[in-house]
A and B are shown apart, each in its own frame.
Chain A
Amino acid sequence: MADKRSLYFLIFALSALLAGIIFGLTASLQYVYPELLKEYTPFTKLRPFHVTSVISWIVLAATGSIYFFLTQVENLKLFTPRLLGVHFFLFLLTGIGIYISYALGYMEGREYFAFAPVFVIPVLIGWVLFGINYFGTLRKKVRNWPVYYWMWGTGIVFMVYHISEAHLWLFDYFKIHFVKDMSVQWKSYGSFTGSWNMLVYGISIFVMSKIKKDSQLATSKIAFFFYFLGLTNLMFGWAHHTYFLPTQPWIRYVAYAVSMTEWVVLGSIIYNWRRSLPKVDRMNHPMATRFMMSADIWIFLNLILALLFSIPAINFFTHGTHVTVAHSMGTTIGINTTILLSALMFIIGKANAAFTTQQWLIKRGLQLFNVSLFLFWCALLMAGIKKSYWMYGIRQGIFSEMQDGLTMVYGAISFFGLILVISLCMIVIPLCKGFVQTVRLGRT
Chain B
Amino acid sequence: MSYLKETFLGIFNNLLYLTKMSKITKRYIFVIAILLALFSVYNYFIYTSEAYTATAALSPQAVKGQELWQENNCWSCHQLYGLGGYLGPDLTNVYSHPDKGPVYINAFLNSGVKSMPKFQFSENEKAAIIEYLRMVDETGYYPNFDASIENSGWVTLKYKNGR
Are A and B subunits of one complex?
Answer: yes
Q: Could you list which residues of chain A lie within 8 angstroms of chain B, going by C-beta atoms?
A: 30-31, 34-35, 38, 42-45, 47-48, 107-111, 114, 139-140, 143-145, 150, 168, 174-180, 182-184, 186-187, 224, 228, 231-232, 235-236, 241-249, 251, 254, 256, 311-316, 319-322, 325, 387, 391-392, 395, 399-400
Can you offer 11 A-B residue contacts whose CB atoms are under 8 A? Answer: A35-B114, A47-B77, A139-B17, A144-B25, A178-B136, A187-B46, A232-B35, A236-B39, A248-B52, A320-B86, A400-B114
A143 to B136, CA, bound (A): 53
Contact residues in B for A311 (Cβ distance below 8 Å): 153
Which secondary structure dominates where chain A touches chain B?
A: helix
Contact residues in A for B107 (Cβ distance below 8 Å): none
Interface 0/1 of B68-92, CB less than 8 Å to A: 0011111111011111111111100
> Is B154 at the interface (CB under 8 A from chain A)?
yes
Q: Which of B35, B70, B77, B147 contacts A228 (CB 8 A)?
A: B35
- A51 → B minimal CB distance (Å): 9
**A44-B73, A184-B47, A316-B149 in contact; A34/B142 too (CB < 8 A)?**
no
Contact residues in B for A224 (Cβ distance below 8 Å): 28
Question: Contact: A177 with B50, CB < 8 Å?
Answer: yes
Count chain B residues whose beta carbon lies closer than 8 angstroms to a beta carbon of A: 64
> Is B19 at the interface (CB under 8 A from chain A)?
no
A313 to B80, CA, bound (A): 20
A322 to B86, CA, bound (A): 8
Contact residues in A for B130 (Cβ distance below 8 Å): none
Question: Contact: B57 with A44, CB < 8 Å?
Answer: no
**A111-B75, A244-B81, A244-B157 in contact; A180/B50 too (CB < 8 A)?**
yes
- A423 → B minimal CB distance (Å): 24
- B68 → A minimal CB distance (Å): 11
Q: Which of B24, B49, B81 contacts A180 (CB 8 A)?
A: B49
- B23 → A minimal CB distance (Å): 10
> Is B3 at the interface (CB under 8 A from chain A)?
no
> Is B53 at the interface (CB under 8 A from chain A)?
yes
Interface 0/1 of B43-61, CB less than 8 Å to A: 0001101111101011000
Q: How many A-B residue pairs have CB under 8 A?
A: 168
Contact residues in B for A44 (Cβ distance below 8 Å): 72-74, 76-77, 117
Question: Contact: A316 with B17, CB < 8 Å?
Answer: no
- B157 → A minimal CB distance (Å): 7
Contact residues in A for B82 (Cβ distance below 8 Å): 244, 319-320
- A281 → B minimal CB distance (Å): 37
Other 14 A-B pairs with CB < 8 A, given A247-B49, A314-B153: A38-B117, A44-B73, A44-B117, A174-B47, A177-B55, A177-B57, A182-B81, A184-B46, A224-B28, A245-B81, A246-B160, A254-B42, A313-B153, A320-B79
Question: Contact: A312 with B87, CB < 8 Å?
Answer: no
A319 to B155, CA, bound (A): 13
A400 to B28, CA, bound (A): 54
Q: Which of B22, B80, B136, B154 contacts A312 (CB 8 A)?
A: B154
Contact residues in B for A314 (Cβ distance below 8 Å): 153
- A407 → B minimal CB distance (Å): 12
Contact residues in A for B160 (Cβ distance below 8 Å): 246
A393 to B38, CA, bound (A): 41
Question: Contact: B71 with A47, CB < 8 Å?
Answer: no
- B22 → A minimal CB distance (Å): 5
Question: Contact: B77 with A178, CB < 8 Å?
Answer: no
Q: Could you list which residues of chain B lie within 8 angstroms of chain A, going by C-beta atoms?
A: 17, 21-22, 24-25, 28, 31-32, 35, 38-39, 42, 46-47, 49-53, 55, 57-58, 63, 66, 70-77, 79-90, 114-115, 117, 135-136, 139-140, 142-145, 147, 149-150, 153-155, 157, 159-160
Question: Contact: A228 with B31, CB < 8 Å?
Answer: yes
Question: Contact: B17 with A140, CB < 8 Å?
Answer: yes
Contact residues in B for A179 (Cβ distance below 8 Å): 50-52, 55, 139-140
Q: Which of B39, B51, B87, B153 contacts A43 (CB 8 A)?
A: B87
Q: Which of A31, A38, A183, A246 contacts B157 (CB 8 A)?
A: A246
Question: Contact: B35 with A45, CB < 8 Å?
Answer: no
Residue in A30, A140, A246 whose Cβ sees the most chain B Cβ within 10 Å: A246
Question: Contact: A108 with B143, CB < 8 Å?
Answer: no
- B126 → A minimal CB distance (Å): 17
Contact residues in B for A111 (Cβ distance below 8 Å): 75, 84
Question: Contact: A35 with B73, CB < 8 Å?
Answer: no
Q: Which residue of B lies closest to A384 (CB)?
A: B86
Question: Contact: B154 with A313, CB < 8 Å?
Answer: yes
Contact residues in A for B52 (Cβ distance below 8 Å): 179, 246-249
Contact residues in B for A43 (Cβ distance below 8 Å): 76-77, 85, 87, 115
Question: Contact: B28 with A48, CB < 8 Å?
Answer: no
Q: Which residue of B lies closest to A173 (CB)?
A: B47
Q: Which residue of A lies closest to B73 (CB)?
A: A44
**A178-B55, A244-B157, A320-B90 in contact; A313/B114 too (CB < 8 A)?**
no
A43 to B76, CA, bound (A): 7
Closest 9 CB pairs of A and B: A320-B82, A179-B51, A34-B115, A44-B73, A399-B89, A312-B155, A34-B114, A246-B140, A47-B76
Contact residues in B for A313 (Cβ distance below 8 Å): 149-150, 153-155
A45 to B57, CA, bound (A): 30
A236 to B42, CA, bound (A): 8
A242 to B17, CA, bound (A): 42
A142 to B50, CA, bound (A): 45
Question: Contact: A175 with B51, CB < 8 Å?
Answer: no
A235 to B37, CA, bound (A): 11
